[in-house]
Amino acid sequence: MDFSKVKLIVSDMDGTLLNEHEEPSDLFFTQFETLQKLGIHFIAASGRQHNSIAHKLHPIKDKITIIGENGGVAKRQDQLLHLQVMDPKNILKIIPTLRELKGVFIILCGEETAYVESKDPKLIEMFQEYYGTHEIVEDLTTVVNTVPILKIALYHPTSSEEFLYPELSSFENEYLIKISGKNWLDLSSPNSNKGTALKLVQEKMNITPEETVVFGDYLNDLEMLDCAYFSYAMGNAHPDVIEKARFVTDSHKELGVEKVIAQIIEAKA
């Protein structure tokens, strides 16, 4: 594997860079310092809220680019690189349908704050892992016309792919519908995804796919894999991601990302 031309490493968070305890490894932070010395930039790209990603990677948050909300927002330090918001009319149109789904937890994702109308303490505790900055409102529809919304995130306690996607697939002409995790499904503007945001950042940095390494594990990573020659699926990835990626590394529990980074460092040293 010839990593000698690599200038950019991009990684998903949950199930990819984060271990089974939803934390980055100490090894990664050590490797990051070496990547900086080698002139390789790092991007964290996740369905998580920007603030949640920055919290997980707090020691290096001002030295990386963060793509949050599945491509809805991209920032470097305090510089806004990309923002993709939903049409308020489309949000108001779909909310009644979402409320009819059994067991679903609805989140409206703004640039800085997420909004929910559920007061269930167990759901709130779970959701805080991904959306630390949030507000509980009486009615989500009252938020839509006052705050720009990047995406709608839905949580199902059993399976988003089995119980949510079949109910919403008929709306795919109007929304981008992404199964982003075992329990998560996201709705956004049709062209809002991690790949769109990553391509924009690559263009700004004058970095090509041949100079890019991407790691992902779930269906919301598919477009992002197209932005890199070195496209990696994790060993624990969804079958469609493994089929799409050019390469496969070990699982997130086995430090699959770090193992490839070690090879890149060796090639660039």
What is the domain-level CATH number for residue 164? 3.30.1240.10
Q: Residue 269: its pLDDT value, please?
A: 80
Q: Is residue 17 part of a domain?
A: yes
CB 164 within 8 A of CB 177: no
Same domain, 92 and 18: no
Residue 244 phi, psi dihedral angles, 5° rounding: -75, -40
What is the domain-level CATH number for residue 228? 3.40.50.1000
Same domain, 115 and 183: yes
Q: Is residue 219 part of a domain?
A: yes
Same domain, 103 and 41: no
Residue 162 phi, psi dihedral angles, 5° rounding: -85, -40
Q: Is residue 99 part of a domain?
A: yes
Confidence of residue 127 (pLDDT cuts 50, 70, 90): confident
C-beta atoms surrounding 209 within 10 Å = 16
Same domain, 180 and 220: no
Same domain, 72 and 201: yes
Confidence of residue 144 (pLDDT cuts 50, 70, 90): very high
Same domain, 102 and 135: yes
Measured in whole angstroms, the distance separating CA 85 from the mean position of its chain's CA atoms is 16
Q: Residue 178: its pLDDT value, please?
A: 93
Same domain, 42 and 105: no
Helix axes 256-268, 26-37, angle to 10 degrees: 20
Looking at the 3D structure of the chain, how many domains does it have? 2
Mean of pLDDT values over 138-144: 95
Q: Is residue 1 part of a domain?
A: no
Q: Is residue 159 part of a domain?
A: yes
CB 238 within 8 A of CB 180: no
Of 166, 188, 210, the domain-final residue? 188
Q: Residue 20: its pLDDT value, please?
A: 93
Element (DSSP H or E) covering residue 112: none
Q: Residue 123: its pLDDT value, please?
A: 84
Of 167, 188, 209, the domain-final residue? 188
Same domain, 67 and 118: no
- Return the sign of the alpha-carbon dihedral for residues 249, 236, 201, 193: positive
Q: Is residue 4 predicted with pLDDT exceeding 90?
A: yes
> In this structure, which amino acid lies at residue 172?
E
Same domain, 252 and 230: yes
Q: In which region does residue 56 sit, left (phi positive, over 0), alpha (psi from -120 to 50) or beta (all else)? A: alpha
What is the strand order of the sheet 184-188 is part of? 134-136, 114-116, 105-110, 149-155, 184-188, 176-179
What is the tens place of the pLDDT at every residue in 32-41?
999 999 999 9
Q: Is residue 62 part of a domain?
A: yes
Same domain, 111 and 182: yes
Element (DSSP H or E) covering residue 52: helix 50-56
What is the tens place of the pLDDT at every residue in 152-200?
999 999 999 999 999 999 999 999 999 999 999 999 999 999 999 999 9
Q: Which of 36, 39, 37, 48 is nearest to 12 (CA)?
A: 48
Residue 184 phi, psi dihedral angles, 5° rounding: -120, 140
Distance in angstroms between the alpha carbons of the first and the last residue of the chain: 15
Same domain, 77 and 201: yes
Q: Residue 250: its pLDDT value, please?
A: 98
Question: What's the token pair of residue 53?
Answer: 């990603």
Q: Is residue 54 part of a domain?
A: yes
Q: Residue 226: its pLDDT value, please?
A: 97
- Return the sign of the alpha-carbon dihedral for residues 148, 75, 226, 12: negative
* Parent domain of 242: 8-83+193-268
Q: Is residue 128 predicted with pLDDT exceeding 90?
A: no
- If you search the block for the tokens 């430090």, which residue do you land on? 255
Q: Residue 140: its pLDDT value, please?
A: 96
> In this structure, which amino acid lies at residue 62?
D
Same domain, 162 and 183: yes
Of 188, 220, 255, the domain-final residue? 188
| Strand boundaries in 120-208, DSSP class E | 134-136, 149-155, 176-179, 184-188
What is the tens place of the pLDDT at every residue in 87-121?
999 999 999 999 999 989 999 999 989 999 988 88
The C-alpha atoms of residue 126 and residue 149 are separated, in whole angstroms, by 21
Q: Is residue 37 part of a domain?
A: yes
- Return the sign of the alpha-carbon dihedral for residues 101, 238, 127, 10: negative
Query: What mean pLDDT, rounded, does the chain reach?
Result: 95
What is the tens place of the pLDDT at every residue in 212-226?
999 999 999 999 999
Q: Is residue 25 predicted with pLDDT exceeding 90?
A: yes
DSSP state of 77: T
The fraction of the chain above a pLDDT of 90, given in percent, is 91
